[in-house]
């Protein structure tokens, strides 16, 4: 029987609430599909500052580096806003320590939640499922910065190896989906985008089954709203991915439903919900655990190669929604509202 080591970083705010539910679901999936999970907890974010005077203790880094995958809740909160070291530094630090260069953010509209989307129903259609693959460690956010009395400068730089590896992630993701990949750049004005497009085209030769389309970022932003069904997988730079993944998330209408994965070379990945720590509702049995549970499904898919278990969790979430159960953030009048723990229990029961 296979055994996987999972580092569990519950973090701050609602992090422990939603992670506990996700761990319970993962345990149930392991039992059903005949593998074992060893969970080990570590500190990150504000709680790490409180207990260790730093947002990312060395023992947490070591724990994550010796695990098969990492499950993260959320970090930050107003409690630490005025401190010189912010909880968010822990998140940036663990990404760097693990070499997490590819951020995968699905934007899925479940049939039961179509009314939550701000788009018209005829635009949403059926089975809207987009995956944004964002380069996470290069580009303008990490380029050379300079400022003077009357100017400021940020450098957008990409190397061929950086583009090649993120392009490969995009193509590999497309291969297990609908085999359509849109590469988003600004090659009409940016030299770095011209390099990006050239290398993506080179990588495409190794994936003849995938239909590749290039799109300028401004057009991609419009097309996401106009006709989101034309997209399957989007691969793009750090800054463009940051913006477009938030736009895609808004299309779904509920950030509490959205998981994410940050991947390194090989199988290592860090999995977390897109939402923040929401300290105002922490411990109140209100938070929506679905994004974290779906993040566990992504872990099973991308890091642990347990595809059947991943699909079963996704199906269980869908079934609970179809049965009419909602946490308060996605509930409408007349629908059955349940708390964090009950939503987790229902998904586990369906699984």
Active site residues: 141, 186, 218, 242, 246
Q: Which of 253, 252, 286, 288 is nearest to 273 (CA)?
A: 288
Q: Pick left, alpha or beta for residue 340 (phi over 0 → left; psi -120 to 50 → alpha; otherwise beta).
A: alpha
Integer Cα distance of 273 and 138 in angstroms: 22
Residues facing residue 214 across a β-bridge = 183
At residue 106, the 3 state secondary structure works out as strand
Q: Which two tokens stand for residue 251?
A: 């299309």
How far apart, in whole angstroms, are the C-alpha atoms of residue 256 and residue 291? Answer: 6
Distance CA 203, CA 342 (A): 46
Give the 3-state secondary structure of residue 219. Answer: helix
69 in Cβ contact with 8 (< 8 Å): no
Q: How many other C-beta atoms can be found within 10 angstroms of the C-beta atom of residue 104?
A: 24
Are the beta carbons of 139 and 157 closer than 8 angstroms? Answer: yes
Backbone phi and psi for residue 276, each to the nearest 5 degrees, phi listed first = -90, -165
> Based on the number of CB atoms within 10 Å of its own CB, is 81 exposed (0-12), middle (13-18) or buried (19 or more)?
exposed
d(CA 60, CA 44): 7
Of 182, 198, 284, the closest CA to residue 236 belongs to 182
Return the structure tokens found at 107: 């934007």
Is there a contact between 33 and 312 (Cβ–Cβ < 8 Å)? yes
Question: How many Cβ atoms are within 10 Å of 318's Cβ, its own excluded?
Answer: 16
């Amino acid at each position: 029987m296979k055994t996987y080591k999972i580092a569990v970083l519950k973090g701050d705010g609602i992090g422990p609430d939603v992670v506990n539910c996700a761990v319970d679901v993962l345990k149930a999936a392991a039992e059903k599909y005949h593998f074992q999970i060893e969970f080990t907890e570590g500190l990150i974010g504000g709680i790490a500052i409180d207990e260790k005077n730093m947002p990312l203790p060395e023992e947490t880094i070591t724990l994550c580096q010796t695990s098969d995958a990492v499950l993260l809740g959320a970090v930050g909160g107003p409690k630490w806003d005025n401190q010189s070291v912010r909880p968010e530094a822990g998140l940036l630090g663990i990404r760097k320590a693990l070499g997490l260069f590819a951020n995968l953010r699905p934007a899925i509209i479940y049939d039961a939640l179509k009314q939550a989307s701000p788009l018209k129903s005829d635009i949403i259609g059926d089975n809207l499922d987009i995956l944004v693959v964002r380069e996470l460690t290069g580009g303008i956010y990490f380029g050379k910065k300079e400022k003077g009395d009357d100017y400021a400068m940020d450098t957008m730089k990409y190397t061929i190896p950086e583009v090649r590896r993120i392009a490969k992630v995009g193509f590999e993701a497309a291969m297990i989906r609908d085999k359509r990949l849109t590469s988003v750049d600004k090659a009409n004005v940016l030299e770095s985008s011209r390099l990006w497009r050239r290398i993506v085209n080179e990588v495409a030769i190794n994936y003849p089954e995938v239909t590749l389309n290039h799109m300028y970022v401004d057009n991609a932003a419009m097309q996401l709203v106009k006709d989101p069904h034309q997209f399957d997988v989007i691969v793009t730079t750090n800054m463009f991915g940051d913006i477009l993944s938030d736009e895609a998330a808004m299309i779904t209408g509920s950030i509490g439903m959205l998981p994410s994965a940050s991947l390194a070379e090989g199988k290592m990945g860090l999995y977390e919900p897109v939402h923040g720590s929401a300290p105002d509702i922490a411990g109140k049995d209100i938070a929506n655990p679905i994004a974290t549970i779906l993040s566990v499904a992504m872990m099973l898919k991308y890091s642990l190669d347990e595809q059947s278990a991943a699909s079963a969790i996704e199906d269980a979430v869908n079934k609970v929604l179809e049965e009419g159960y909602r946490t308060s953030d996605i509930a409408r009048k007349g629908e059955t509202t349940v708390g964090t723990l009950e939503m987790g229990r229902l998904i586990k029961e369906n699984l």
